[in-house]
Amino acid sequence: MSGQDDVNFEAGRRYHGTTFPDEHIADKAREITSVDAFAFPLDLGKHSFVMNFVKFKMGFIGAPIDDIVCSIALPLPGTGIVDKSGMKYNQDELGVIGGAIGGVTQEVLDAFKGGGALSTSDGNVPDAGSDELQLLKTLTQATGAAGRQAINELGQGLGATADQAFGNVINPHVVLLFKQVDLKTFTLQWKLAPQSRDESKQLKFIIQKIQEMAHPEQKTDGNGANFFLNYPNQVDLFYAGVQENLHYFKRCAITGIEVNYQPEGDNLLFAKTAAPTRVDLQLEFQETEIWTAEDYQQLQRRKVG
């Protein structure tokens, strides 16, 4: 990776608090001898899924690579490589008054676009086609609609009777209002089959290590009654060897772990060790930051560079 890519990578972490890990991080992790690194299977190739666990930090802005406390590599997931974004919108009814106010607001904006004041012919009486009369017309229409609502409240069914008589109903002015961007979630699955006694031990250890890293610790200082827990570790994820062809992750929390030691519906064990011949692992992740347009622009710049 070029020096320019390194600069963009660090800038993204520094200014946006985003994490775009790739092989660059994997190389850095291997250089840190104090970090425990584990892999399954023992002969795992260069195409893999890597989890770099980091200590939780309040308000982090791209924690340095040196903060990695543990690195775990597995084969690429067999199921779940799906990048799904979600944006929430609320369908809302402005109502007759809200709709009229929206119209007035646009009229006012249009009127002031020219010289910053409403135009009249002699300073007192508006022209027939002037903005003032248009505003008055809109307000009158709003008042009429409000009066219709008042009639409906005075007598049950009067509003509906009026609607039937005149052949019209009130326009609800339904609009779609943006609310928020959802945090991305991922559910990844593996079918892991050890081929030796050592790999069975390694798989058992890695599963327990993931469980350890994902769970909170007892807070020891000033916590004699065990009222408090320390936040669990968070994790940086990436697909080693194929990252540029797949999606990127932001820093995640592990929100679910499911281990199935009986995936075939029967107890299939190795004769000498009694270890399962296959273990199905499912991990659920949720990112800790939303994605914005600037994040995708940064990814495009990285690929172009």
pLDDT in tens, 43-71: 998 899 999 999 886 654 444 445 789 99
Tens-digit pLDDT profile for residues 228-276: 888 899 999 999 888 888 999 999 999 999 999 999 887 888 878 889 9
Ramachandran assignment for 54, one of left (phi > 0), alpha (psi -120 to 50 degrees), beta (any other): beta
Q: Which residue has the higher pLDDT, 48 or 110?
A: 48
Sequence length of the chain is: 305
Query: How does pLDDT run across 208-225, given as a tens digit for each residue?
Result: 999 999 999 887 776 666
132 three-class SS: helix
* pLDDT band, residue 10 (cuts 50/70/90): very low
Residues of the chain by 3-state class (helix, strand, coil), percent to 5: 35, 25, 40
Contacts of 216 (CB under 8 A, 6+ apart): 229, 230, 231, 232
Q: Find the mean pLDDT for residues 174-199.
A: 94
User: Please, which pLDDT band fits residue 31 given cuts at 50, 70 and 90?
Assistant: low
For the chain, which residues make up each domain, given as ranges? 3-86+182-304, 88-179
Tell me, what's the pLDDT at 7?
35
Alpha carbon of 137 to those of 142, 148, 170, 192: distances in Å?
A: 9, 17, 17, 72
